Structure 1
Amino acid sequence: MSLIPGTCSPPHPWPTHAVSPLTLSAPWARTSSASTLGWEGPRSRPGQSAEVCGHAPGPPSGAPVFAGRLPECDCSEVPAFLLECDRAVLGALQTHLGLYKIRRKVIVEPCPELCVWSVLPCTPVEAYGAAPLREPAKRTTILARDPRTGCMGWRLLTQDKGLALVSSGQLGDLRDYHRHRYQHGVPEGVHDLPPGVALPLESNLAFMNGVSFSKGCYIGQELTARTHHMGVIRKRLFPVRLSGPLPAGGITPGSLVLTESGQAAGKYRAGQGDVGLALLRSEKIKGPLHIRTSESGRVALTASVPDWWPTAK
């Protein structure tokens, strides 16, 4: 699932992008596969903090939940928390969160009236905290910087489904949005982060303000904390580029990625066209890699390390 951003401060500086004002042809697109859940009630903060692996001290906040993020919201007008999730697992997420209500007076319900938009950055700048994004529409409910990385720009939650959301803005193709995040190695949704399969650290959520190593307890904390403190994460989700003739239906998710000698280096996760994500063993990414296709051919694959990832000091 993909979650939506809040306004938490990043654990480390990253290159960010300025759009000031937003009307200067900022590319934006409606993420049609995204839905929102509202978690409302006087004791909603303790509940959310216990169910997420990042900090959720209260609005504004940002943390992954079921592979998601928590956005800032005004609790006097909207639910205490809004969770963006993949539409395919909306019902499953609602049921899952309901298991943890216990005696809390909270309501977990979908917010079908809200639309999720992504506004991509126009101009990269060096320092974090560039010019703020200006209010683009009167019916905007949430306007927040994407906490995953500066190159993902902003997220809007609105009640406006029309194309006049941003005056003079540039309506982008949703496929361009997905290509943009694949090129930068940003996973989103059940195809990139399959529930029950994707692990937080292998999915680089710790790089995207998604994991706290100072709080507890949350489901999976023991494995996540042990892996982190051992300092060895053998596999990661890397952005990859494919070259050579591609199969008509694209590369099958889960296809083995092989080294030149035929050893398994990992698995292809998802993508669009010639860009995508693959879960690869870190020590294998520098050598020649390929995927064997069903047509008895092979497609070369090149992995890269995103420039927004933190570097060892």
Structure 2
Amino acid sequence: MLAAAFKLKCGNLPGLVRHTAVGTCQPVSLAQAAWHRWLVSNVEALKAPAGQISANLKESRGVLRLHGEDIHQFLNGIITNNPKLLQNGTTDVMYTALLNSHGRFMHDAFLCATGEPFGILADVDKEHLPDLVKMLNRYKLRAKVTVEDVSQDYDVWTRFNPSPDNQECQRGWPQDPRLKELGQRAILPKGTDTGSNDHCEDPPAAYRRLRHTLGIAEGPSEIPQGSAVPLEYNLDGLNAISFSKGCYVGQELVARTHFQGMVRKRLMPIALQDDSAAGDVEAGTSVFAEGSARPVGKIVAMDGAAGMAVIRLEVAFGLEESPLHVGQKDGPLIRAQRPSWWPQEWGQEQSL
């Protein structure tokens, strides 16, 4: 992410960049203080254009520094995406997940190339950051890898338009690797000025509502640790999983589910039909199809009358489509929504 900011000036800073084998321009390693000075001196490239919102996610996201000569090989064996794409300069930022040995979700992360030959910054869930550090240290064994919490030095920022259909990639910030509808995302040094948000009282809440509108969960706070199946939370459609890179922890379940082509439930946006029920529905509440005594899904997050739920696709959009109730089989009605970014085949598996 920060590497992308450097790229803006690659032509003017020949002494600070190198060209990789694939012809991309990347910065060489610089001391953190020098990097901070460069960013501050080029802050205009970091400010949000008119109409966009800049949100500091410091309350929900922390930053790790991962470095050492074995870092890419180490990550390759434990994450769902391919870190060699960062190493060879193919991409500056990627979204990925860490699973347990049974293929269930444990953590997610945005990995950012810093320009160091063996250095990466990771944007991770702040509440669960200590658990992630323990997990990484447990896996590294004798690998030459160091894991540091640098949240005191960096903040995670996003800038976006509240309308998902009106996202433009402005200079200076990399696009969110999951979806263009989410705008842009960056790890920036503490104190970086990204401009004012006079037209938005609570930028992080506005960003959360945007995610919920698109049906995109983030972090173990919304994706249950140890139980969530990655494909049910749409990680296969959010550029989080490589199906060609080879083995990693938990890979067997993910690959089998993907290649069998049978995902029965997925995370999707939902809305209460009656706004008066807002505030009475919480995460973890069961969803029922009308006339059924058995749950067909579960609420993942609610923000007023809107939120997200994991629901059986046949019941939400397929052959068994039915009115949906929350809490009990005759509870408040909710409406499931099919996000525009979903591939056409999602939800059609049952009829194949």
- Structure 2-normalised TM-score? 0.73
Aligned to 2:283: 253
What SS does the aligned partner of 2:127 have?
helix
Residues 1:93 and 2:132 are matched in the alignment = yes
What does residue 300 of structure 1 align with?
333
- Choose the corresponding residue for 1:276, options 284, 289, 307: 307
Map of 2:159 onto structure 1:
119
8 Å CA contact retained: 1:53, 1:63: no
- Does 2:94 correspond to 1:62? yes
Kept after mapping to 1: 8 A contact 2:48/2:194: no
| Contact 1:246/1:299 (<8 A) preserved | no
Partner Cα separation in structure 1 for residue 226 and residue 2 of structure 2 = 22
Matched, 1:240 2:270: yes
Cα distance, 1:186 vs. partner?
1.0
Counterpart check, 1:312 vs 2:338: no
Aligned to 1:221: 251
Rg larger for: 2
Counterpart among 39, 45, 53 of residue 27 in structure 1: 53
1:48-88 per-residue CA deviation (whole Å, 9 max, x = no partner) reads 11111111112424131322221232217xx7112211111
State the distance in 2 between where 1:6 and 1:309 align: 30
Superposition deviation, residue 208 in structure 1: 0.3
Shift of 1:149: 0.6
One-letter amino acid of the counterpart of residue 52, structure 1? I
| Uncovered stretches (5+) of structure 1, i.e. residues with no partner | 8-18, 136-142
After TM superposition, where is structure 1 displaced by more than 3 Å over at least 4 residues in a row? 4-7, 19-22, 121-126, 167-172, 245-250
Instruction: Give the CA deviation at 1:195.
Output: 1.4
Q: Which amino acid in structure 2 is aligned with residue 284 of structure 1?
A: V
1:288 aligns with 2:329: no
The one-letter code sitting in structure 2 at the alignment partner of 1:134 is R
- In structure 2, give the amino acid aligned to 1:133: Q
Cα 1:121–1:298, aligned 2, differ >3 Å: closer, same or farther? same
Aligned to 2:112: 71
Alignment partner, residue 109 of structure 1: 148
| Greater shift in the superposed pair: 228-237 or 191-200 | 191-200
| Contact preservation (8 Å) 2:282, 2:302 | no
2:211 and 2:327 map into 1 onto residues whose CA distance is 25
| CA distance in 2: counterparts of 1:151 and 1:204, whole angstroms | 15
Q: Distance in 2 between matches of 1:289 and 1:216?
A: 40
Q: Determine the structure 1 residue equivalent to 2:122.
A: 83
Shift, 1:278, TM fit: 0.7
Map 1:118-197 → 2, pairs under 5 A:
118-121=158-161, 132-135=169-172, 143-161=173-191, 164-166=193-195, 173=202, 174-197=204-227
> How far, CA to CA, are the matches of 2:210 and 2:270 in structure 1?
12
Q: Is contact 2:162–2:210 with CA below 8 Å preserved after alignment?
A: no
Aligned to 1:140: none
Are 1:265 and 2:296 counterparts?
Answer: yes
Match of 2:75 among 25, 48, 70: 48
- Cα distance in 2 for partners of 1:114, 1:21 equals 17
Would you say the 8 A contact 1:5–1:145 is kept in 2?
no
